[in-house]
Structures are given as structure tokens and as C-alpha cells.
Amino acid sequence: MVSSDTAVHAAVVAVSIAALLVLNWAFPNLDSSVLTFVGLVCYGFVLGGAHLVLAVLGTDGVVPVTSRWRFVGLVAGVVGLAAVSAFTDPVPLGPVSSDLVLGVVAVAGILAYWVLEAASGYEDATVQS
């Protein structure tokens, strides 16, 4: 039996692929920056779309709703930082560029997410036992 998480994720991936194909067919001469943006949004939707749908519905399933919202926030933040990096020219900030700073912020966000998820999992495990 397929879990509801898997079914929702498969539907989200199918919709993302269909949207890319329809956009490519309907607008064959899109600017590369528009395609980059659409690609980033589709990647974000593929990675976090199922969690977003299930979090909005309030469905726990395999993953708690609060964890789903944390993951959606992480994906939105990283995709947003990637978009800023892709669409702006690097600015020198002392010895480093703005792209490096954006990358460090993205990595720090991922590390913070892992810490929050570990703390949440530990809290859930200690409350249940």
C-alpha cells in the first residue's frame, strides 16, 4: 500500500514536470533568467511541495506537521537565497563576495534545521518513554 506522503509527492512531481513542459511548449523563446527562476521554483516545489500540501492540510502521516513547516521554510529560504545569487551580480564584501556570504547563510540554515529537527525528535522520544 502506498502511503499518502508518497502519493502526494508523486502528484507534486508530476505537476512540476507538466508545468515545465507546458511552459516550454507555450513560451519556447523565454529569457534564460526566467527559465532559471522557473527552474528554481520547480525544484523548490518538488523538494518541499508535498510537505507544504500536507502541512496546509494538517496531515501528520509519517512526519509531524511542525517538521513539515520547518522543512518548507528551509526549502523556501534556500531557494530564495539561490535566486538572489543567480539574479544579482556578486558584490565584493571585503575579502569575500556576496555569493559566498549567501552560500554560508544557506549552509547555516541547513545546519540550524538539522539541530531543530534533532531537538524535536529527542523531545518527542523522551516524552513518549
Per-residue pLDDT tens over the stretch 24-71: 888 888 787 788 888 888 888 988 998 999 999 988 777 889 999 999
Q: What is the pLDDT of residues 56-111, one digit of tens each?
A: 998 877 788 999 999 999 999 999 999 998 888 999 999 999 999 999 999 999 99
Beta partners for residue 93, in sequence order: 96
- How far apart CA 54 and CA 60 sit, in angstroms, is 7
Of the ranges 19-23, 38-42, 116-120, the best mean pLDDT one: 116-120
**Per-residue cell: 96:** 569575500
What pLDDT, on the 0 to 100 scale, is given for residue 60?
79
> What's the first-to-final CA gap in the chain, in angstroms?
29
Q: 54-86: string of b/e by CB count within 10 Å (b at 16+)?
A: bbeeeeeeebebebbebbbebbebbbebbbebe
Which own/partner contact pairs does 85-94 have at CB distance under 8 Å and 24+ positions apart?
A: 86/33, 86/36, 86/37, 86/40, 87/33, 87/36, 87/37
Decide if pLDDT at 126 tops 70.
yes
| Residue 20 to residue 33: CA distance in whole angstroms | 15
What does pTM read for this prediction? 0.83
Residue pointed to by grid coordinates 554560508: 104
Sign of the Cα pseudo-torsion (89, 91, 92, 96, in order): negative
